[in-house]
Amino acid sequence: MQPNKLLKPGLYSAASHDQAGAIVRLKGGRCRCGYVFFPMQTYGCERCGSHGDALTPCELSAKGTLLAEATVHLHADKNRPAPFTIVKVALDDGPVIRTLLAEDSAPVAPGQRVSGRLAAIGQNESGETVLDLRFSIAS
């Protein structure tokens, strides 16, 4: 069995496993003013403008509430097969993100609880299964 590889390890990690699979943790940041953001960056806090040591990395839960969804039927990148659904999620830890809905997810509607998981999206040239973050209705 070939190992798995994360598509974007700078944005998320597989923190541990439960019965449903890998528990995903997002790599965000926190300012000393209390503002939480995603992804981690060092350019400055969007709320107070602090930078440097005021910004520290933190792990965020991949759970939240769906705010909106939109299905893309035609995409400029020919390598991105359509249709696919983009969702806007208010994470429980504060940030609002736009991400992809899992292909096997049931239809979603604003206000529903959703959670992130790692989904296989293909294999790389080494034969490793490549995993990427996808959201679906929380179980």
Q: What angle do CA 112, 116, 119 make, to 5 degrees?
A: 125
| Residue-wise pLDDT tens digits, 46-93 | 999 999 999 999 999 999 999 999 999 998 888 888 899 999 999 999
Burial of 116 (0-12, 13-18, 19+ CB in 10 A): buried
Instruction: Map tokens 């299905």 to a residue.
Output: 71
Confidence category of residue 4, pLDDT binned at 50, 70, 90 = confident
What span, in angstroms and rounded, lies between the C-alpha atoms of 6 and 8? Answer: 6
What span, in angstroms and rounded, lies between the C-alpha atoms of 96 and 118? Answer: 19
Spatial CA neighbour of 134 closest among 123, 111, 108: 108
| Residue-wise pLDDT tens digits, 81-124 | 889 999 999 999 999 999 999 988 888 999 999 999 998 888 88
